[in-house]
């Protein structure tokens, strides 16, 4: 988000949070403020939830590959499977 759009979104978040607070919905006000904090954090650092998700998936993939190598399960062997079924 560049320019005035970024500040506009933050202003809208503050207004919505204030409206929730005025209507005695404090939990929703806090949730909206946390959303605003996330937007500021991701804008300033360039690190978003998508980056975190991708890192977690890559880590899980590496762990699964190491596990299969340690236990000798490199891949599916169709020949041995068809012999055991007969």
- The predicted model scores a pTM of 0.62
Q: What per-residue string of b and e applies to 24-50 under the rule 16 or more CB within 10 Å gives b?
A: eeeeebeebbeebeebeeeeeeeeeee
pLDDT of residue 14: 95
A 10 A CB-CB count for 17 gives: 20
| 65 neighbors 46 (Cβ within 8 angstroms) | no
Comparing 6-15, 24-33, 40-49, which segment has the lowest mean pLDDT? 40-49
What do you get for the CA distance between the two ends of the chain, in Å? 62
Rounded distance, CA 59 to CA 50, Å? 14
pLDDT band of 12, cuts 50, 70, 90 = very high
Please, what is the average pLDDT of the chain? 86
Q: How confident is the model at residue 70 (pLDDT cuts 50, 70, 90)?
A: confident
Checking if the pLDDT of 77 tops 80, the result is no
């Amino acid at each position: 988000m560049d320019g005035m759009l970024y500040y506009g979104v933050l202003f809208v978040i503050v207004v919505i949070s204030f409206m929730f607070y005025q209507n005695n919905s404090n939990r929703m006000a806090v949730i909206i403020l946390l959303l605003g904090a996330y937007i500021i954090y991701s804008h300033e650092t360039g690190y978003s939830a998508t980056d975190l998700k991708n890192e977690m998936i890559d880590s899980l993939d590496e762990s699964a590959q190491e596990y299969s190598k340690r236990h000798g399960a490199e891949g599916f062997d169709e020949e041995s499977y068809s012999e055991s079924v007969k």
